[in-house]
Amino acid sequence: MKGIITGGIVIFCSVMAGAQTNDTLMIRNIADEILKNSAAYENLRVLTKQIGPRLAGSAGMVKSESWGYELLKKTGADTVWMQECLVPYWVRGGKDEVIVQSGEIKKNLAVIALGNSTGSGAKGVTADIIEVASFDELEAKKDLVKGKIVFFNYHFKRSFVHTFRGYGDAVKYRGQGPSTASKYGAVGVMIRSISHGENNVPHTGSTRYDSNYAKIPAVAIGLQDADWLSAALKEKKMDATIKTYGYFKPDTTGHNIIAEWRGSTHPEEIITVGGHLDSWDNCEGAHDDGAGCVQTIEILRAFKAIGYKPKRTIRFVLFANEENGLRGGLKYAEAAKQKNEKHLFALESDAGGFTPRGFGFSASAEVLAKVKTWEPLLSLYGTAVYPGGGGADIGPLHRELGTPMAGLDPDSQRYFDYHHAANDVFEAVNRRELELGAVNMAALIYLVDQYGL
């Protein structure tokens, strides 16, 4: 083909070059706006330091909803509304404690009750500890479990490069550990925290009881104390007293906070971008998922600041109750289905405010191929495009309406140092990393808005 260029190809190339150039300039413009003038970091400071924990049902939830509503209005959306949904209302109820002892030894472990778990009450549950490394070992020792406290000491695998694969591998012990042990007559469960961190901070997160078995108290132990306990149990038998106070209040009303910016030429086509507003009760929820919320709001702020006019309708959504119910995401999809809305695309940031590495897509091969052509534009800001990904809150939209979805995939190495733990605080978020996430999200939303999917 060297030297042979037809007129048609010349026109095609110059049109393409024009589009690339405009897009390159527009995305550079977006990036400059965010990296120089972002409000994301200061918004995160307010959300984490002035509001703090905001588990579904709590006073923090209510405060955070007002904050999100006012901030999205101020930032300039056409319409902001609060979409009601019933949310579960789990309460920790007191200070979780585990005391282990054997003869002279008596030690308080760093623990936290698993989310949604049942309380032992102040009397506590006392029993001998039986340690197992896995469900397989539990199965092999099932005849020894009755009346005992089971200690699941499953190690988060360090060899996965992407830490979410290690999480996916280990988190079943949090979700299913309590009922699996209860099936064989255990009276309590302690799990090694689902983390590979270097500290002793325990990590909560929701557990799911199987209604066929008794609900038993369940806690997560800090990694250093889990190691200490495992070593101690090799020396001698020990018993533990677990004291937890968790219980459910009746379901209450929570809200998705939805800001809409109507499109100029295809207003009927909706692009959703969001994060979840709730957090666990033991932390500021800075990475999980304050980051995703302030990045979402930042995209609106930056678009407004540079005078962008979207072709399609963009919705900026702060979802309710991701952590222990997903009621916000379910409600959003249900309403979209009822109203027969046309949802073009949904994007979520819920993997921490770290340097972005890519976008994982759950979409058809055709859609993915189209998005792949944008990779050269995105890669200037650090992101690639690949299959597999999305977000818990936009998952129902994807499943119910077939909406293509993507998740921002930040560098994952530090996420499980903080996940669901008391150290997930504002200070753990780096301003530039947070902002670069918003830059890449805004760039992707811009491209989808311009060219559809």
- Active-site positions read 322
Instruction: List binders of a second copy among 385-414 (CB under 8 A).
Output: 411, 413-414
Q: For residues 293 and 273, give the distance between their C-alpha atoms in angstroms, rounded to a whole number.
A: 10
Q: What is the spatial distance between Cα 243 and Cα 186, in angstroms, rounded to a whole number?
A: 15
Does 121 help bind a second copy (rule: CB under 8 A)? no
Q: Is 30 in the site for a second copy (CB under 8 A)?
A: no
User: Contact 435/382 with Cβ under 8 angstroms?
Assistant: no
Q: Which of residues 351-390 bind a second copy (CB under 8 A)?
A: 355, 357, 380-382
Site membership for a second copy, residue 419 (CB under 8 A): no
Min dist. Cβ of residue 421 to a second copy (A): 15
* Range in contact with a second copy (rule: CB under 8 A) among 34-42, 61-69, 114-122, 303-311: 34-42
188: phi then psi, degrees, rounded to nearest 5: -165, 160
- For position 29 contacting a second copy by CB under 8 A, the verdict is no
**From residue 319 to residue 348, what is the string marking binding to a second copy with x (rule CB under 8 A)?**
------------------------------
Q: How far apart are the C-alpha atoms of 290 and 47, rounded to whole Å?
A: 7
Burial class (CB in 10 A: 0-12, 13-18, 19+), 111: buried
Angle at 303 between CA 19 and CA 409, to 5 degrees: 80
Binding footprint of a second copy, residue count (CB under 8 A): 25
User: What phi and psi, each to the nearest 5 degrees, are found at residue 441?
Assistant: -60, -45
Residue type, 354: F
Task: State which of residues 198, 211, 231, 365 lies at the interface with a second copy (CB under 8 A).
Answer: 198
Q: Does the footprint of a second copy cover residue 163 (CB under 8 A)? A: yes
User: Does 161 sit near a second copy (CB under 8 A)?
Assistant: yes
The distance in angstroms from the start CA to the end CA of the chain is: 31
Structure tokens at 187: 């009276």
CB 319 within 8 A of CB 329: yes
Does residue 196 interact with a second copy by CB under 8 A? yes
Question: Is residue 49 involved in binding a second copy (CB under 8 A)?
Answer: no
Around Cβ 188, how many Cβ atoms within 10 Å? 26
Which one among 260, 281, 298, 417 touches a second copy, defined by CB under 8 A? 417
Strands 218-221 and 188-192: parallel
Answer yes or no whether residue 143 interacts with a second copy by CB under 8 A: no
Instruction: Please give the Cα distance from 441 to 431 (Å, whole number).
Output: 16
**Quick check: 223 binds a second copy (CB under 8 A)?**
no
Residue 67 tokens read as: 């904050």
Binding to a second copy (CB under 8 A): which residues in 61-100? Answer: none
Q: Which of the ranges 121-129, 156-164, 202-210, 264-272 carries the binding residues for a second copy, by CB under 8 A?
A: 156-164
CA distance 179 to 192: 16
Judged by CB, which is closer to a second copy: 35, or 306?
Answer: 35
In the complex, least distance from residue 260 CB atom to a second copy, rounded to whole angstroms: 30
| Nearest to a second copy of 196, 420 (CB atom) | 196
How much helix, strand and coil, in percent to the nearest 5, is found in the chain?
40, 25, 35
Q: Which is nearer to a second copy, 37 or 373 (CB)?
A: 37
Q: Which residues bind a second copy (CB under 8 A)?
A: 31-32, 35-36, 41, 158-159, 161, 163, 196, 198, 355, 357, 380-382, 411, 413-414, 417, 430-433, 436
